[in-house]
C-alpha cells in the first residue's frame, strides 16, 4: 500500500469457489463484486477514485514501525468525504511490529482514533519487518474485540515466509485475508486472475497499484465484506456514527443559500447551521477557509439554522489520578494540572514522555481546580474559545489538539 509493490507471479488459474469462502463469520457471500480503492496521505485530503463504480475506500489511519508512530493527517477527511459521496469508508494500519507488547502499543494508540463505524474493516497491513504468528493473531483478536472487522492484508509470499503456510492457514480460518498480487505496473481496471494468490478465505484482492494512470491501488471485494459496519450497505446509515461519518452525512442534508455578511467567519457560519468547518468547506468547494467575503453565497444546512449552542462548562476538583484520553499529551496534562512534564514523568515512571496512551492512569502531584467544556455538534474551537473567554490557540495547546479543525461532539476540552 504505502511502499512500492514487488511484482510476484501467482497461480496460473484459480477456483472461484475459493474466493467465496468467508470462514471468519464477518461477511456474507454475494454474487456482486464491489470495487474500491485504498489510500494513504499521497491521495490527499479528499482521496482519489478510479471509476464511477468504486463504492468503498480503505484509508490509512497511520503507521507503526517497531515503536515509532506516523499518523496520517488525511485520514479523517478521507473518511468524511467517502461518506459524503455515499460510499463506504474503512480503515487500515501500516503494521510493522513483533511481539504482543508492540501490538498493544500500536493498537492502544490507533484504535481509539478510528473514525469509521463499528463493524467496519480495520485491516492490519503486514508487509515489512519481522512479524510472528502469535503477535499477529493477538493483534487481530484485539481489533475484533474492539468491535471492528479484523482483516489481515499483505503479500502471500511475505506472510508465508514469516508466519509459515500453516500459520497463515490458521489465521485465515479465523479472519478474512486481503491479499495483494499483480503482474506489472500497466493501467489495470480489471483483475487478472492468472495472478490470483490462491488461499483460503481471501475476501479481498488488491490487483493493481496502477488502477488508473498515475498510480492508485485497485481492489475487489468478492464477499460483501466492505458492507460491514453499514446498514444494508448504505453509507448514510452506518452502524455507528463517528466524527468523520457525521461530517460526511452533513453534506447530504437539505441546504439553502446563505449570503456572507461583513464580520462573518466560516467557523461562525458553520456553528450557526450545525455544521463542521470541513463539511462547509467541502460543500462549497472553498480552497482557503480564511478567505470569504461579504456578498458571497454559500450553501448551508437547513438543520440548526440560526440556533445558538449554549455553553456547557463545568468545574472539577481533581483526585490523585488522571485517566489519559485520546489526543492527550503529557505536557498538556501537566499544564492543565499546574505541574511540569518532568514531574509527571518522574512520579509515573515514564521513560519517554511522548509515549502515553488512552486509558493509562497517571498519578498527579496534588489536587487542583480545573474547568472543562463538552463539545457539541456544530461547535468550532474558535467559537468555543470566544464563549469561554479564552483563545483558540490556548485551547489547542492545553488539550494537545493537532488540528484545530478536528474536534468532535462529546470531546472534553480543558481551559
Give the whole-angstrom CA distance, residue 106 versus residue 6: 26
342 or 188: which leads in pLDDT: 188
Q: Going along 146-191, which residue ranges are E strands?
A: 149-154, 177-180
Taking the alpha carbons of 73, 78, 29, 158 in that order, is the dihedral positive or negative? negative
Which pLDDT value is given to residue 309? 34
Worst-scoring range by mean pLDDT, 96-105, 156-165, 175-184, 335-344?
A: 335-344
Q: Is the pLDDT of residue 4 over 70?
A: no
Using CA atoms, how far apart are residues 415 and 409, in angstroms rounded to an integer?
17
What is the pLDDT, as a whole number, of residue 178?
98
The predicted model gives 88-107 an average pLDDT of: 97
Query: What pLDDT is stored for residue 331 in this prediction?
Result: 80
Q: How far apart are CA 21 and CA 102, in angstroms?
A: 31
pLDDT-derived band of residue 365, with 50, 70 and 90 as boundaries?
A: low
CA distances from 28 to 45, 176, 204, 236 (A): 31, 12, 13, 20
Rounded to two decimals, what is the model's pTM? 0.65
> Does residue 7 have a pLDDT over 70?
no
C-alpha distances out from residue 88 to 118, 119, 195, 225, Å: 13, 12, 27, 11
Could you tell me which residue, 120 or 322, shows the higher pLDDT? 120
CB atoms within 10 A of CB 377: 17
Q: Look at 19 and 198; give whichever has higher pLDDT.
A: 198
Whether residue 120 contacts residue 136, with contact meaning beta carbons closer than 8 Å, is answered with no
Q: Are the CB atoms for 409 and 246 separated by under 8 Å?
A: yes
Judged against a pLDDT cut of 80, whether residue 299 lies above it is answered with yes
Determine whether 361 is exposed, middle or buried from the number of CB atoms within 10 Å of its CB (0-12, 13-18, 19+): exposed
Q: Which of 269-273, 307-311, 383-387 has the lowest mean pLDDT?
A: 307-311
Higher pLDDT, 241 or 395: 241
* φ, ψ at 161 (rounded to 5°): -60, -35
With beta carbons less than 8 A apart as the criterion, state whether 38 and 206 touch: yes
Tens of pLDDT, residues 68-77: 999 999 999 9
Q: How confident is the model at residue 201 (pLDDT cuts 50, 70, 90)?
A: very high
- Three-state DSSP at 38 gives strand
pLDDT band, very low/low/confident/very high, at 114 (cuts 50, 70, 90): very high
pLDDT at 5: 41
- Digit-coded pLDDT (tens) for 15-57: 433 444 444 434 434 445 899 999 999 999 889 999 999 999 9
pLDDT at 379: 77
Q: How many CA atoms lie within 13 A of 243 on its CB side?
A: 23
User: Alpha-carbon distance 382 to 304, whole Å?
Assistant: 18
What are the φ/ψ torsions at residue 267 (nearest 5 degrees)? -65, -40
C-alpha 211/C-alpha 188 separation (Å) is 5
Q: Is 307 a residue whose pLDDT tops 50?
A: no
**Mean pLDDT, the chain, as a whole number?**
83
Grid coordinates in use for 268?
Answer: 461562525
Burial degree of 303 (CB within 10 A; 0-12, 13-18, 19+): middle
User: Is a pLDDT exceeding 80 seen at residue 82?
Assistant: yes
**pLDDT over threshold 60, residue 244:** yes
Closest CA to 95 of 106, 108, 111: 106
Amino acid at each position: 500500500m504505502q511502499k512500492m509493490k514487488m511484482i510476484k507471479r501467482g497461480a496460473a488459474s484459480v477456483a472461484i469457489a475459493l474466493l467465496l469462502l468467508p470462514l471468519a463469520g464477518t461477511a456474507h457471500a454475494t454474487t456482486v463484486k464491489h470495487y474500491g480503492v485504498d489510500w494513504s496521505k499521497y491521495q490527499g485530503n479528499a482521496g482519489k477514485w478510479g471509476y464511477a463504480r468504486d463504492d468503498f475506500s480503505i484509508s490509512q489511519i497511520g503507521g507503526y514501525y517497531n515503536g515509532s508512530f506516523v499518523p496520517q493527517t488525511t485520514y479523517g477527511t478521507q473518511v468524511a468525504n467517502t461518506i459524503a459521496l455515499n460510499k463506504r469508508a474503512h480503515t487500515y494500519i501500516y503494521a510493522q511490529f513483533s511481539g504482543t507488547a508492540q501490538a498493544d502499543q500500536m493498537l492502544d494508540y490507533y484504535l481509539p482514533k478510528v473514525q469509521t463505524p463499528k463493524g467496519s474493516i480495520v485491516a492490519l497491513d503486514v508487509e515489512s519487518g519481522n512479524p510472528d504468528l502469535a503477535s499477529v493473531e493477538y493483534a487481530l483478536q484485539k481489533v475484533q474485540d474492539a468491535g471492528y472487522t479484523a482483516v489481515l492484508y499483505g503479500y502471500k509470499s511475505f506472510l508465508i515466509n514469516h508466519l509459515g503456510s500453516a500459520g497463515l492457514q490458521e489465521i485465515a480460518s479465523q479472519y478474512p485475508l486481503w491479499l495483494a498480487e499483480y503482474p506489472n505496473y500497466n493501467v489495470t481496471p480489471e483483475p487478472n486472475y492468472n495472478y490470483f494468490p490462491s488461499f483460503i478465505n481471501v475476501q479481498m484482492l488488491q490487483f493493481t497499484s496502477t488502477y488508473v494512470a498515475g498510480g492508485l491501488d485497485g481492489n475487489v471485494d468478492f464477499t460483501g465484506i466492505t458492507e460491514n459496519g453499514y446498514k444494508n450497505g448504505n453509507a448514510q446509515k452506518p452502524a455507528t456514527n463517528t466524527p468523520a461519518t457525521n461530517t460526511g452525512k452533513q453534506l447530504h442534508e437539505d441546504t439553502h443559500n446563505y449570503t456572507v455578511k461583513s464580520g462573518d467567519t466560516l467557523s461562525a457560519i458553520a456553528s450557526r447551521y450545525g455544521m463542521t468547518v470541513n463539511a462547509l468547506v467541502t460543500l462549497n468547494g472553498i480552497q482557503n477557509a480564511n478567505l470569504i467575503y461579504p456578498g458571497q453565497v454559500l450553501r448551508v444546512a437547513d438543520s440548526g439554522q440560526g440556533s445558538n449552542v449554549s455553553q456547557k462548562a463545568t468545574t472539577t476538583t481533581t483526585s490523585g489520578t488522571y485517566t489519559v484520553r485520546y489526543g492527550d499529551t503529557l505536557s498538556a496534562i501537566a499544564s492543565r494540572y499546574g505541574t511540569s512534564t518532568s514531574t509527571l514523568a518522574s512520579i509515573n515512571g515514564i521513560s519517554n514522555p511522548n509515549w502515553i496512551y488512552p486509558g493509562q492512569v497517571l498519578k498527579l502531584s496534588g489536587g487542583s481546580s480545573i474547568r472543562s467544556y463538552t463539545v457539541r455538534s456544530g461547535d468550532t474551537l474558535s467559537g468555543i474559545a470566544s464563549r469561554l473567554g479564552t483563545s483558540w490557540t490556548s485551547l489547542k495547546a492545553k488539550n494537545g489538539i493537532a488540528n484545530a479543525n478536528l474536534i468532535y461532539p462529546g470531546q472534553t476540552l480543558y481551559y
